[in-house]
Each structure stands twice: as C-alpha cells, then as structure tokens.
A = this chain, B = another copy of it.
Amino acid sequence: MSSLRSIPTLDDVARAAGVSTATVSRCLNSPDRVIEKTRIKVMAAVEQLGYTPNFGARAMAAKRTFTIGAIIPTMENAIFARGLQAFQEALHARGYTLLVSSSGYKADVEAEQIRALVARGADGLLLIGRDRDPSIYEFLQHRSVATLIAWTFEKGSTQPSIGFDNHAAMKALATAVIGKGHQHIGLISGIIEGNDRAAGRYAGICDALRAHGLDATAMPIIETPYEVENGAAAFADMMQRTPRPTVVMCGNDVLAVGAMKRARDMGLRVPEDVSITGFDDIELARIVTPELTTMHVPHRDMGQRAGEELVNMLEGTSAGSVVELECALKLRASLGPPPA
C-alpha cells in the first residue's frame, strides 16, 4: 500500500535508477550537466516514487533556499495586499517562493518573525518601512540576508529600498486641500511611533500648512490604529473640536472610509458639510459614496519591482538600489470647498 511506503529520499531514487545520489541531485539541479539517457531514467524513478526533495537538508547543504520572506504590518485590510500580490508574482516568475507573515504593527512580533524567517533559510526579506531597532539590521547583515525596504523612500538612504516619499505626497495632498480654501484641517493619523510612513505624512501636512502661513501646531490630530472602526470613532471625536475642522484628512483610506461612514451616520454630508481625504487609493476609495479624494500609491508597480530587485540582489545583479516611485493625486468628490 502506498501509505505504508515511507518517504522516498535521494538515496531511494538513486537506487531505483541505478545511479549515485550525486547524479540524481544533478538531474534535479543542473539537468544539462547530465546525459539525456541517464536523466530520463532518473526522472522516471523520481516520478514513480513521488520523490520530493527535503527542504531542510537542501538548505543545509546548499545554503540557499530560493525562498523570500515578507513581513507586512497587517493582512486585515487591503493596504498591502495588492503590492504583495505583485511581489509574489514577480518572485514566482524568477523561481522563488514567497512566505508571508504579518506583525500586527508590533515591533517585537516583527522582530520575532524576522528571526523565524531567517532561521527557515529565507535568502531575502521584504520589510515595510525603515523605522526599526538597529540590532535587527545588524542581525540581517550578519546573516547576509538580502533585505529590501518598501513603502517608503528617503533621499540619500543607504538601505536598499523602493517606495515613495510619504512626506512629499501628503504635502501635495494637503496643498490641494488648502487650495480649495480650507483653513481648518483635522488629521486622523495612524500611530506615528515606529512608523516612518505615518510620521512622514504628518510632517507633510504641517509643511503645507506652514507654506501657506497657517499654524501647523494648531492642527487637531488623533492617532489611532488603521482600522475602519477607529476612523469612525476618531471622526466623531474630531467633530467636537473647536473650531470644527472643515476637512478631515486621514492617514490612509481605511481610516477615511471609517470617517465617511460615521459622517453619514451623524447626518453630515460629504463634502457639503465636511470634506474627507484618504491616502493609498485602495479599491475601497472608489467604492464608497462619494468617492474618496486620496493619494494614489503605485502598489502593483512597487511590489513587482521590489520582487525583481530583491532577486537581482540575491543573484548579484544588483547591489541594492534606492528607487523612488511617484504617487498621483486623485481628486474626487469627497473633497469640496469648506462650507460657507
């Protein structure tokens, strides 16, 4: 019975094909270094026995796994989904496997997962954002794990990275908002501590305000984890402030959508009574009514290029570059002029 047969090893295949284990290994890894006749014989044995290489053994002997790990802050909303999908596809096309973990925006969980992935032999890692305990980067370097930072770009950074300038992008969005005539902006931000993207976006708004002679320190700001419910709660809170903001800018679309929902529940019309903006331009942004003014982030492009870059780093084709991607302002119905 097949279920009694134990798991076949290289040795079993070699025996069945009447060759050495070295030859079987070659057939699997560099088929061209083996004469066709032998190869066919070996492959038949592989097939017949249902052989699958043991990954641990292979990793140990080859010091290479063709596996790349990615740790994203969350899978619960779509922010990283698109980019990750594209990343995965790019890796797959180059023969690599992607393993994903999510940290729930918790630094210690992330550190643990980085170790887990490295211990499992990940050749490379995709990390989101740059704010991280330095010891982690030391560890990664020590283990010579190729590491690429995504979702953020910083001029003159030394870390290989691909992303966009969160600061500049949010500044552009805020500038557009101010251009509509708004003087009272309220900000619902993600948790800024340990999150350079959130920090950059916040700073971008302040910059825009200052550039227009407005007082950035007066801006009401609520920090809360990126969840719809939190956006809703923060919005309600924000509407109590004095002076009441005429526009609520949100750190991402998820918060913004929560804010819009609460506005609706509170009987406030968007944008007649209050304007709302997001960031990311995930699918959600065009599903809600009214459609959300937001900053488009090239998720797919970023993911795909991240995949290619990481593979290139692994294969020595690239030393790890720093690439900046462009965002695009999406002016939609949720932003209007301030109420008269």
Contact = CB atoms under 8 A, between A and B. Distances in A.
Nearest to A286: B261
Contacts of A284: 284, 287
Interface string A62-102: 00000100000011111001101100100000000111111
Contact of A55 (B78, B121, B143, B264): B121
A57 B228 CA distance: 44
Interface stretch (A11-19, A111-119, A203-211): A111-119
B115 A283 contact: no
Size bin of chain A's contact surface: 35 or more
B52 A115 contact: yes
A7 interface: yes
A31 interface: no
A53 B60 CA distance: 12
Copies of chain A in the complex: 2
Interface in A1-54: 2-3, 5, 7, 50, 52-54
Contacts of A5: 142
A249 interface: no
A7 B97 CA distance: 24
17 contacts: A7-B142, A50-B142, A52-B118, A55-B56, A74-B85, A75-B81, A76-B82, A77-B81, A88-B102, A99-B101, A100-B100, A120-B120, A228-B283, A261-B287, A284-B287, A288-B288, A288-B289
